[in-house]
Amino acid sequence: MKFAVIVFPGSNCDLDMYHAIKDELGEEVEYVWHDAKDLSEFDGILLPGGFSYGDYLRCGAMANQSNVMSEVVKAAEAGKPILGICNGFQVLTEAGLLPGALLRNKNLKFMCRTVELKVVNNATQFTTGYEKDEIIQIPIAHGEGNYYCDDETLTRLKENNQIVFKYASEGPNGSIEDIAGIVNEKGNVLGMMPHPERAVHDLIGGSDGLALFKSIVKQWRETHVSHA
């Protein structure tokens, strides 16, 4: 399986993402600059964390206007798995690929620590490697991770089982219903504030994030590789 790590000016988790895919997962991966005009050779698209365009105006607002985003939209429509982490999640909401928006943390602080996440939905192509309601340890590092959506959207998210991760203990940022990650209706676009790519090896404090990447690959293999 071949992944693209999209790099915007100001992305800073792109190296971690690349490392997770190449060294821990053993899959193919390439960095793709934000002005790329074709993503057709890739099977999965990863939007890393960071501070694209310095978070000017709004997090992810300017990144959403870059060339590569119309290709990301195309890939989403084609059903390819798309994962946006942290700033990547913010970009996906700005692009309208995921509903809602990320606001300033309720306590106005940049929160940087490992939190407990609950896997609310383990039936997505990103989470089959987890048990339902499993508690996992994943680091967060954000100042604007306070997920917001209107009541109508929240009802829809619940009805369609689109809430994938919740903060298990006290929410660190004020998110509605402690939401930490959601998928789109089709289930192929996941956005989350916590950083699974920073939890892929016990040497760096934990490996609970690895199952997420393995789930993506497993699903892809099952649908794309024939065992004739």
Q: Which of 15, 73, 103, 111 binds other proteins (CB under 8 A)?
A: 103
- The yes-or-no answer on residue 195 being catalytic is yes
With beta carbons less than 8 A apart as the criterion, state whether 80 and 188 touch.
Answer: yes
Q: Determine if 170 is a binding residue for other proteins (CB under 8 A).
A: no
Q: In the beta sheet, which residues pair with residue 192?
A: 85, 181
Annotated catalytic residue within 59, 86, 94, 142: 86
- 150 versus 222: smaller Cβ distance to other proteins: 150
Choose one: 92-100, 110-118, 119-127, 179-187; the region binding other proteins (CB under 8 A): 92-100
Report CA Rg, the chain. Answer: 16
- The yes-or-no answer on residue 86 being catalytic is yes
Choose one: 14-22, 119-127, 143-151, 203-211; the region binding other proteins (CB under 8 A): 143-151
With beta carbons less than 8 A apart as the criterion, state whether 181 and 194 touch.
Answer: yes
Q: Which of 148, 201, 214, 218 binds other proteins (CB under 8 A)?
A: 148
Q: Determine if 106 is a binding residue for other proteins (CB under 8 A).
A: yes
Per rule CB under 8 A, count of chain residues that contact other proteins: 20
Alpha-helical (H) ranges within 20-86 are: 67-77
With beta carbons less than 8 A apart as the criterion, state whether 112 and 170 touch.
Answer: no
What gap in Å lies between CA 122 and CA 133, rounded to an integer?
8
Report the nearest approach of other proteins to the CB of residue 43 (Å): 30
Where are the strands (E) in 60-162, listed by range?
82-85, 101-103, 111-119, 135-142, 146-148
Q: Determine if 197 is a binding residue for other proteins (CB under 8 A).
A: no
Q: Which of 143, 174, 201, 214 binds other proteins (CB under 8 A)?
A: 174
- The yes-or-no answer on residue 149 being catalytic is no
Alpha-helical (H) ranges within the chain are: 14-19, 67-77, 87-94, 151-159, 210-224
Q: Determine if 149 is a binding residue for other proteins (CB under 8 A).
A: yes
What gap in Å lies between CA 45 and CA 34, rounded to an integer?
12
Active site residues: 86, 195, 197
Residues that bind other proteins (CB under 8 A): 57-58, 61-62, 65, 93-94, 99-101, 103-108, 148-150, 174
